[in-house]
Structure 1
Amino acid sequence: MLHFAMLQKEAAAKLVMKYQSSKSAQRVYTILLDELHTIYMLTVTPVIEAGGDRQAVDLCINQALQTIKAMLGENFLEFTVKDLLGLLYFLAGNCHIRWDKC
């Protein structure tokens, strides 16, 4: 799983860089990263803090990703759930979210 997460984080970083000159795409990325962070902090972190098992945490993450995917609407950048997961790993890799209890 660690290797997969690292690959997805790297892919997300490359996508962000690919669209760095597009103000509209950067705005979409900003909103997505903010939504991912907020939903993670409000739904996933409490499960981790309560000692939830891996399955419960994964379920919360999946629900968060599905919520954000539904929010995308027209999705002109064609984000997949895997792309969103990569952005979540990007946040974790840059210490914006934690996978463990504080």
Structure 2
Amino acid sequence: MLGNSNKTEQSNIAANNVTGRDDNSTTNNYYQPPLSTSNHDLVLRRLLEEHEKAKQKDADYQKFSDELNNFFKQQTEKNHRDLTQKLLDGNRENLVNVALAAKAKVTMKINKHSFSKSAQEVYTYLLTNIRITFKHTIEARIKSGKFENFDINDLVDEKIIEPFFQEVQGSRLYIDRNELYGLLYLLTGNCHIEWD
């Protein structure tokens, strides 16, 4: 007599799924790459954390930072050229429309956060370090005339855009690559950096 031969024992089960036969469930694993920890990464991370704390405490700050405001002022230059002319002089006519749009977008966003001291500090930090990196790593190569535009573009992405993009991930300021290029073009338009 075969009466209870199909009875299943379900004690001492340690798995997530209990099946009588085939298990067709799917497991999805998501990988979040670790944040880099160079010195300037830590400084920006601290500023971003301060921004988040300050934003939670008080959304209204009293004045626009003088240091940040300096990046919006036109630096004195012998022959005044706007962003379009500077890009044209640097043989980058293909970037003019993108650059103008990115610069306008980031300028509006910075103005939107003009009463947030912590956001001002983040943008000041980014503008300062983008300018320094450009001046020390990229500008000499441009002026040497020994590099093609695509080499310079790759270097800008490698030394400026990608490292800073990795640093701002997770911030409520939602800074993306286009915004980082916008900061670069803001610096260009206001005579802080040159492409020729």
Structures share fold, TM-score greater than 0.5? yes
- RMSD (Å) for aligned C-alpha atoms: 1.1
- The structure whose RCO (Cα within 8 Å, separation 6+) is larger is 1
Report the residue type matching 1:58 in the other structure: N
1:69 corresponds, among 149, 157, 165, to 165
Q: CA deviation at 1:60?
A: 1.0
Q: CA deviation at 1:80?
A: 0.5
Report the residue type matching 2:195 in the other structure: W
Which TM-score applies when normalising by structure 2? 0.49
Report the residue type matching 2:105 in the other structure: A
Q: Flag the structure with higher helix content.
A: 1
Divergent runs of 4+, >3 A: none
Matches of residues 1-102 of structure 1 in structure 2 within 5 Å?
A: 1-51=95-145, 52-63=147-158, 64-72=160-168, 74-100=170-196
CA distance in 1, matches of 2:128, 2:171: 17
CA distance in 2, matches of 1:71, 1:46: 25
> Which one has a bigger Cα radius of gyration?
2
SS of equivalent to 2:126: helix
Gaps of 5+ in 2: 1-94
CA distance in 1, matches of 2:168, 2:109: 17
Gaps of 5+ in 1: none
Which TM-score applies when normalising by structure 1? 0.91
Q: Percent identity?
A: 30
